[in-house]
Structure 1
């Protein structure tokens, strides 16, 4: 299609979606689907329509954005927000906690936050969650709060019994919890998006920066920084930590949460409240939970900026592999990919091959933008553990980015079958 490049440029200008990142095959597929729906056979005619019709551009965006999320995805970040919010409210009980979920997709992330906050003892009137997405169909699903099996993954599904009502093969979130989230349509790249919004205590912008080129990433990060309170924390996806690290931003050091705050030199002008000091003291303690899962869409990750002169990693040969990998996860969360990779390699040499070590190596190579090595590590993890769902999903993302749609679909189907079988075993 001769006009595909022009259509891709239109999408990129509208929403930052880069054809080099998601692959030409995805964009061509959604364009063909829209042309078929409109009974248009001439590529140039469709391009002309796209350039003059905002409604058609939105329809194309609806197809180009493929939601891939579930409840308590990257659980550590969700639970970290709940802990921090509870502690902040203990020190400042009259000031509600403000939370932003962006993009919110079909609602699983903001609703997970609601459930985690309630479980942590935070009262409904003590927090506000704003959730935005560019895809209006996703917002309709979120508002209804009805979800199928694919939205419930992992072993711990006790929250579904507590907060959902069963509707045949689906589940609906209780109305009182749905009312805690304010959904709205929004485009991160729109000039007026949230320009005059009140600042937030916590911002979740996960698995979207990896779609964008470096200049767009920096533009979005500047927007997010402008929405932060002085001691706010931003949470990003597992492959996006290097994008946030800068002279202005630093990791909060919560393992596997991928949270960042303004550096102390930036925050020094404002006196740190007691609740913030308490959080900084406890943030170095490692948390436990599920491993990071795949990004929202299959993409080719851009190489993030590396932090300068990473510190040496004091490790003794006697450390168990589990301890080495836990330390490696913490370093990777802080953007110190070199030392993290070295610890993974040490664990493999001393304790032998393990799916956990190979998977973590894959995440590190993924974050560094080395697709070939990342794919090799994910395949090694799956050779040792064919039921390693996060590795399946990450490998699917890489295959899709390389144009192997059939291979990516096979990996996703394996992950879905695995999830269904686990639910059957627990249900």
Structure 2
């Protein structure tokens, strides 16, 4: 038995295209599990794997390496609140808002969805979030809802004061947000995954599709399309925007939210949202009351969605040219804001041109270089994406988003050692910022 056989098994079982993460990650996972079960060679481990459903889950767990934190890509959650929150632009909110997070990893994304909607003024009784993942370990942590400093990144942590309480080992999420999310194991590639149609007002499926080959990408998007209401929003990762356009979806024109809608949708709220950029989620004025942790519902026996992942992908297909439907930028918009909006609308050539013009006129700067890296990653130009990210890090070695995106780019081409170095740098910076904040 060779490595390729295990890669085929992972493809058939969880949809993972091993070429997108590099052979070193699969090899590392195999060696780890071989040592755990006492197999001396791949052939022996293959027999152990095929004979044990428990070991199959253990190998999946070893391959899945989640990288997530609260309010990652804030614009997506601001757009969600703007579209569905009380008083939102062009709002036609449903009686009960149903959201889907897939894959949900250790819970940071669906809990952020809950916090964003509660802070926007939506009552908890009107909110229901379903969250799926392939990793039972990740789901167990999500249900526990206690998080360390690695889950809280960036300088704006006001939401932590509103929604969390300090406990031994980290921060415990309050019941107000926790009770809005139901966690389950499930596999989007299973033929019986979530039977029915058009039940979700918004679907978050971010940075999953980049790990699939094109047929599996199309199959997955078809399932999610079936689950999304006609006027709903689909949120994907920045490297997946070209794929969504190529599969017929239309940009929702919410800057840097990477949100899409079904073609031909005539939803007034979505059309109205195209005029104004997504607003930041308005902070609540009082911290929710503390309550005892909710008892987690048992997970059904289905397998889960493929691995949580992030960042630009070297294999992302170049999109077809999108129709010029975007509205004109606001008169007071900065060039970088205009570039961000162009990127969100799928007008990648325009975004690149604006960033390059900014660099020519004003000299090297972190933000346009970072945005260039994201755009180049979205259109599959991995070498240019890496070059842009490295230039940004030369100017600001502690720029956390650039460190993480470049790490994922290196992972995708098989440079696991280089990726670990960058993640270590990001972690050291977070610890330094945390200590600085404590002293302040």
TM-score (norm 1): 0.90
Matches of 2:145 and 2:406, distance apart in 1:
30
Change over 3 Å in CA distance of 1:221–1:312 after alignment to 2: closer
Give the 3-state SS of the residue equivalent to 2:232 in structure 1.
Answer: strand
Matches of 1:296 and 1:247, distance apart in 2:
21
Indicate the residue corresponding to 1:68 in structure 2: 67
Report the more deviating stretch, 169-178 or 204-213: 169-178
Check conservation: 2:245, 2:322, Cα contact below 8 A: no
Matches of 1:87 and 1:176, distance apart in 2:
18
- Does 2:271 match 1:280? yes
**How far off its partner does 1:73 sit?**
0.6
**How far off its partner does 1:298 sit?**
7.0
**How far off its partner does 1:114 sit?**
1.0
- Does 2:356 match 1:365? no
Check conservation: 1:307, 1:336, Cα contact below 8 A: no
**How far off its partner does 1:29 sit?**
0.6
Give the 3-state SS of the residue equivalent to 1:245 in structure 2.
Answer: helix
Report the more deviating stretch, 196-205 or 31-40: 196-205
Check conservation: 1:211, 1:301, Cα contact below 8 A: no
Give the 3-state SS of the residue equivalent to 1:202 in structure 2.
Answer: strand
Give the 3-state SS of the residue equivalent to 2:239 in structure 1.
Answer: coil
TM-score (norm 2): 0.87
Matches of 1:203 and 1:367, distance apart in 2:
20
**How far off its partner does 1:423 sit?**
2.3
**How far off its partner does 1:297 sit?**
4.9
Give the 5 Å matches for 1:149-168.
149-168=149-168
Check conservation: 2:11, 2:17, Cα contact below 8 A: yes
Check conservation: 2:239, 2:311, Cα contact below 8 A: no
Higher relative contact order (CA 8 A, sep 6+): 2
**How far off its partner does 1:277 sit?**
1.4
Q: Per-residue displacement from partner, 1:258-317 (whole Å, max 9, x unpaired)?
A: 0000122xx3xxxx5xxx414422333234779xxxx8257743232423266599999x
Matches of 2:177 and 2:327, distance apart in 1:
46
Give the 5 Å matches for 1:43-192.
43-87=42-86, 95-192=95-192
Matches of 1:394 and 1:299, distance apart in 2:
7
Give the 5 Å matches for 1:26-45.
26-45=25-44
How many residues get paired?
Answer: 410
Give the 3-state SS of the residue equivalent to 2:182 in structure 1.
Answer: strand
From 409, 412, 416, the equivalent of 1:401 is 412
**How far off its partner does 1:131 sit?**
0.5
Give the 3-state SS of the residue equivalent to 2:85 in structure 1.
Answer: helix
Report the more deviating stretch, 304-313 or 112-121: 304-313
Matches of 2:325 and 2:359, distance apart in 1:
19
Matches of 1:278 and 1:309, distance apart in 2:
21
RMSD, matched Cα: 2.5
Report the more deviating stretch, 375-384 or 93-102: 93-102
Change over 3 Å in CA distance of 1:247–1:371 after alignment to 2: closer
Check conservation: 2:133, 2:186, Cα contact below 8 A: yes
Give the 3-state SS of the residue equivalent to 2:231 in structure 1.
Answer: strand
**How far off its partner does 1:42 sit?**
2.5
Check conservation: 2:237, 2:258, Cα contact below 8 A: yes
Change over 3 Å in CA distance of 1:25–1:333 after alignment to 2: same
Matches of 1:420 and 1:29, distance apart in 2:
27
- Does 2:437 match 1:426? yes
Indicate the residue corresponding to 1:412 in structure 2: 423
Matches of 2:319 and 2:11, distance apart in 1:
26
- Does 2:245 match 1:254? no
Change over 3 Å in CA distance of 1:279–1:426 after alignment to 2: farther
Matches of 2:388 and 2:94, distance apart in 1:
49
From 378, 381, 397, the equivalent of 2:392 is 381
Change over 3 Å in CA distance of 1:312–1:195 after alignment to 2: closer
Change over 3 Å in CA distance of 1:234–1:300 after alignment to 2: closer
Matches of 1:234 and 1:94, distance apart in 2:
16
From 302, 308, 314, the equivalent of 2:321 is 308
Matches of 1:246 and 1:401, distance apart in 2:
22
Change over 3 Å in CA distance of 1:350–1:299 after alignment to 2: closer
Give the 3-state SS of the residue equivalent to 1:203 in structure 2.
Answer: strand
Q: Per-residue displacement from partner, 1:29-62 (whole Å, max 9, x unpaired)?
A: 1011111110111211211222333222111101
**How far off its partner does 1:401 sit?**
2.2
Check conservation: 1:148, 1:169, Cα contact below 8 A: yes
Indicate the residue corresponding to 1:390 in structure 2: 401
- Does 2:365 match 1:354? yes
> Runs of 5+ in structure 2 lacking a partner?
282-307
